[in-house]
Each structure stands twice: as structure tokens, then as C-alpha cells.
Amino acid sequence: MFNIEYLAQKADVSRRTVRYYIQRGLLPPPLGQKRGSYYTEAHLERLLLILKLSAKGVPLIRIKTILESDAQFEEGTPELEFVRQRCEKIEICDGIDLLAKSGLLRNQDIIDIKKYIISLIQGEKDNDEKAYGAVFDRTAANSLDKDKRLKYN
């Protein structure tokens, strides 16, 4: 049995962090009442597990779900494998990157996505050129008409 100060020290966190995890439902409240409240080894183990998962990038809401499932956490379990999954950055073209979970997309999927996005970009460029080109053509025509009028007046 130990107090919040000792628990926080053993886990290398602040007392505020311990209280926050209790408030979020990640860590059970201490046993006992008021000044007589205390934490057990089970609290410490759970706190260390929360910190381990959090350090690996698991969001607190996901950690809570994992903890509520009462799963056993050993190397190779799906929960820890989930943590290890990272995103890969796929360059579509200059200035455009796609983030996808590692191993989610096959090479052909990536090629198809690149082609589609590039076609969208090219389509926008073509539309812009058509739109701005038409404006430029009208402006140039008006300018020429004005020049002709000046010459003949």
C-alpha cells in the first residue's frame, strides 16, 4: 500500500497525471477514504501499462477501451501489434503526400490513387487555363478593338 506521491514517483509521472488518469477512467480510484486512501501494486501495474501504451502512440480513448476489455498484454498480442502499426508516407506528386496505414495499400492501389489524383489536378489546371484563357482572350480582343478605334478616330 502506498500514497499518491509514491505511486507517481514509481511511475515517473506527476500526481496530477495520476489524478487525470483516474478522472478519465483509465486508472481506478484509490482504496480507502480521504487521507486514508491508498494505492496498490495493481494500480502501479496499470499505470505503467497506460504509460507504455501511450508512449507507443495509442490514444487515451483507445487505451481505455483496451483496459476495459481485460485483455492480457503480452508481446505479440493484437493490442500491442495495433500500437506498432505506423503510417507510411506516399508521395503522390510534388507537394502532395498520402498517409496510409503500413501494408494497407497494394502497389497497384497506390498507382491507381496517384493517377486519379494527378488527373484531378490536371483537370483543374485545364479548367483554369480554359477559364483564364477565355478572360485573357476577351481582354486582348477588347484592347485590340480599343486600339483600332483610336487609330480610326
pLDDT tens sequence across 15-74: 999 999 999 999 999 998 888 889 999 999 999 999 988 888 888 888 888 888 755 555
Identify the residue with better confidence: 74 or 115: 115
Task: Kindly list the structural domains of the chain, giving each domain's residue range(s) and its CATH number in brackets, ordered by start.
Answer: 4-84 (1.10.1660.10), 87-152 (no CATH)
Question: Of 35, 32, 25, which is closest to residue 67 (Cα–Cα)?
Answer: 25
Cα 51 to Cα 111: distance, rounded to the nearest angstrom: 39
Distant-in-sequence contacts of 25-33, Cβ < 8 A, 24+ apart: 25/64, 26/50, 26/60, 26/63, 26/64, 26/67, 30/4, 31/1
Cα 50 to Cα 145: distance, rounded to the nearest angstrom: 76
Q: Is the pLDDT of residue 153 over 90?
A: no
Structure confidence at residue 13 as a pLDDT band (50, 70, 90): very high
10 Å CB burial of residue 53 (0-12, 13-18, 19+) is: buried
pLDDT tens sequence across 89-112: 788 877 888 877 767 778 888 888
Contacts with 102 (C-beta within 8 Å, 6 or more apart), sequence order: 85, 86, 87, 88
Structure confidence at residue 152 as a pLDDT band (50, 70, 90): very low
Identify the residue with better confidence: 144 or 51: 51
